[in-house]
Amino acid sequence: MSRRSDIMLKGPERAPHRSLFKADGYTDIELSRPIIAIANSYNDIVPGHVHLKSVVEAVKAGIYMAGGTPMEFNVIGVDDGIAMGHLGMHYSLPSRELIADSVETMISAHPVDGLVILPACDKIVPGMMMAAARVNIPTIMISGGPMLAGRFSGTDIDLAQVFEGVGKYLNGDITEKELKELENSGCPSCGSCSGMYSANSINCISEVLGLSLPGNGTIPAPLSDRIRLAKAAGMKIVELVEKDIKPRNILTKESFHNAICADMAMGCSTNTVLHLLAIAQEAKVEFSLDDFNEVSNKVPDLCAFSPVGPYHLQDLNEAGGMMALLNRIDPLNVLNRDCLTVTTKTIYENYKDSRVYREEIIRPLDKPYYPKGGLSVLKGNLAPYGAVLKQSGVDTSMNHFVGKARVFDSEEDAIKAIFAKEINKGDVVVIRYEGPAGGPGMKEMLQPTSAIAGMGLDKDVALITDGRFSGATRGLSIGHISPEAAKGGLIGLVEEGDKIEIDVDKKTLNLLVDDETIEKRKEKFSAKKPKIDYGYLARYAKMVGGAHKGAILEY
């Protein structure tokens, strides 16, 4: 059987190539086996990645046990929490494209037989999944796993409560000592932050898409189960090479539909919309925002993970994990059972014998936490291409909201106004020029949303933006408004004091200003230039597409 790696290793003319591998210490026996590359995102900065040295060693052990030869390389990784609130956040989403390009470059320059992607946090996970779909060689994903929840005053907490604690401190609701205790307790272990935030959302969804083994999204990072799963992934990739099962055999229209079903049932981060759209495009699957609303009306939210509820990923793991969740929603007849997965079995075969062990974590279909899916796409004159809302995190009293626009041309200006207590009940905070091109980089805005929540205004104040949110955001926070202000979107024409109407049930978002006034404003309008005009971000701003298409780079 011929292998992809034969291109660089087989025949007399490849003696120089083999010589270079022997400089690495590889033997003829190792070079005769399936060559498996491991894209490792280990670094000493990101808590979801600090332990990946031990995980990658387990993956290598699994590959060796199955008769393959592992070869590791590294990619960058940005921590959204550490990057938040300053220049660094401009680089988070753009780093997704760098990661995808880096993996593509390494795999194309060194034609290996299979690939293991080893991410954990935020944009690293979708970046690697995009690369897997793009290079389309046998691939399996094993993540670093979620962080354990922290404990404070007898309650499980996580990073979201630390961010909200800043607002509470500035509001005089907690002391500086209590804020320090929150800081010391919120992130107690390695792993991706323990709520249903961006990283954990997409890691869980990877199981449903079929790119990872069951347990990938939920087994906590510090547990030995994670190491055993990594060994299993290492063994499985050799089988995938032998059977020539590739990502595009797995990533189909039907598997993306399944992913949205799980997304809605869990109440995932709004960022999953961006990433699923981007992965689908790399997999050459037709997929749009409209697909989300179609599923949202059929699948209720059965879970209440932080920041919306009190539970964390370790609870989901104890409840039976993603396969138990799929088994729970199977009677709705919304899942495509025949989708292939990296187990080499169908998704139905993966979940059919799973059961729910904690009913409060994955509720019965007739007792949902929210009657519709966790996410919703809104449209209207403010967002003709669409905007995204985590509707399960909105108090029902705000399902129809008309408020006065408070307009800010940057996240920083909005934060200053919020902390200065200049935002009042009934306001709609408008943060613009933070989209993919206008930011540039479509910054994640946990600081303003958590400050609003921390100050007790999350049931009285709405926030809309052409930027995006952390999965830790709750309240009437609407992001991904498209087209963005920098591309001439109506959000760029909103003026202080304008009335804005949000209707969660009707899925609409409108500026209540007459057409004649809007036309007059358009005549005077000139979009602001991106805030950063040098280096990678200057190139990114020129090439990036709209949020409604996943904010991918356009050729």
Q: What is the largest distance, in Å, between two alpha-carbon atoms of the chain?
A: 76
Strand order in the sheet with 69-74: 69-74, 35-40, 114-118, 139-141
User: Distance between CA 72 and CA 74 in Å, rounded?
Assistant: 7
Cα 263 from Cα 374, distance rounded (Å)? 7
- Between CA 325 and CA 307 the distance in angstroms is 19
Give kind and range of the element (H or E) at residue 509.
strand 508-511
Nearest Cα to Cα of residue 262 among 192, 213, 206, 314? 206
Non-local CB neighbours of 274 within 8 Å, separated by 6+ positions: 93, 126, 468, 480, 547, 550, 551
Q: Answer yes or no: 470 catalytic.
A: yes
| Under 8 Å between Cβ of 485 and 438 | yes
CA distance 328 to 333: 11
Tokens of 128: 């690697």
- In Å, how far are 299, 393, 507, 519 from 293, measured between CA atoms? 10, 16, 9, 31
Contact status, residue 275 vs residue 202, Cβ threshold 8 Å: yes
Q: Are 136 and 246 in contact (CB under 8 A)?
A: yes
What gap in Å lies between CA 51 and CA 223, rounded to an integer? Answer: 11
Give the Cα separation of 146 and 56 in Å (integer).
16
C-alpha–C-alpha distance, residues 471 and 270, integer Å: 6
> DSSP readout, 70-122?
EEEEE-----HHHHTTSGGGGGHHHHHHHHHHHHHHHHHHS--SEEEEE--ST
Strand 383-389 and strand 376-380: pairing?
A: antiparallel
Q: Catalytic: which of 354, 392, 470, 482? A: 470
C-alpha closest to that of 392 among 475, 478, 289: 475
> How, if at all, do strands 427-431 and 155-157 pair?
unpaired
d(C-alpha 271, C-alpha 551), whole Å: 11
Q: Which residues are catalytic?
A: 470
